[in-house]
A = this chain, B = another copy of it.
Amino acid sequence: MVINRISIIGTGLIGCSFALAIRQAGYTGTIVGFARQLKTLEEATSIGAIDESTTDMATAVRGADLVMLTVPMMAMRSVLLQLKDHLGAHTIVTDGGSVKASFVNDARDVLPSMQYVVPGHPIAGRELSGPLAADPELYRDRRVLLTPTHETLPAATAAVEALWQLTGAVVEQLDADHHDRVLASTSHLPHMLAFGLVDMLATRQESEEIFRYAAGGFRDFSRIASGDPTMWRDICLTNKKELGVALNELIDNLQRLDAMIEASDGDALGALFDRAKTARDKHTAC
């Protein structure tokens, strides 16, 4: 499938970084940007991410070979409802959302067919947001997970994969439910811990002092608590079940750890820390 015209719905960090990356790799088609705010579109234009800009959804998707939705998860359905009557018969619809079963359900409910729907999730991001934070190198050597449905045409998936490969990303395919279960643990849960910890410390009387004495480990740890609140609210709402399972499993683990500390069980503590260190060092290079 030839992709001569791409429409990016929501020209923020994710969409603009994608646009900059494929351009840098030689993509010569037209990239249209849609956003609600004129300022966002002006910024996206100023950094060279988009060729055309509009605040009208119909104009944004008309004639597009591929539409990429990079909006918060809870806005997906509303956006699909607004654009569905303006899509071509063969327009590919893909997204950059962090939860995949939810997007599949929204698309299935709203669109007449799933043949051209290719759900996607680039595992990359920054704490900053908006077009001015965009970076053409954001996706290089990072994973992009595509979760095509069994109705999705292989050619549509291949077209989306080819575009992501232009960004330098490593593209993999997996099942949407499986994606949501794995990401609940590796991404959504760590964010909950970071948000929960920072919120707890911030509400303490001595919070000024606490942050002053915070070590480097805390800075690394809490960086992810600087993510966009709306995006993370929507991830909680749309991956509720899997995130709930992971969060409760972790709470159980922390309660066991608390019992070891309470019992001064040095052997059990040492064994746990050793297991964790071994796993971390084995799996993570940096």
Contacts and interface: CB of A to CB of B under 8 A. Distances in A.
Given A221-B220, A277-B229, A193 B254 contact: yes
A201 B229 contact: no
Give the secondary structure class of A's interface: helix
A129 to B, nearest CB: 11
Contacts of A183: 213
A128 to B, nearest CB: 10
A101 to B, nearest CB: 16
Given A182-B206, A250-B254, A284-B219, A190 B197 contact: yes
Contacts of A275: 199, 202-203
Contact of A191 (B143, B207, B217): B217
Contacts of A274: 229
This chain: how many copies in the complex?
Answer: 2
A204 B283 CA distance: 14
Contacts of A89: none
Interface stretch (A23-31, A35-43, A112-120, A262-270): A262-270
B198 A276 contact: yes
Interface in A214-242: 214-230, 232-234, 236-237, 240
Contact-size category for A: 35 or more
A189 to B, nearest CB: 7
20 contacts: A74-B266, A123-B215, A125-B215, A143-B212, A182-B209, A185-B210, A186-B218, A189-B197, A196-B276, A199-B279, A211-B279, A211-B284, A212-B283, A221-B221, A230-B270, A233-B266, A233-B269, A243-B261, A244-B262, A251-B254
Given A186-B210, A198-B280, A251-B254, 5 more contacts: A123-B213, A185-B204, A207-B279, A220-B221, A220-B223
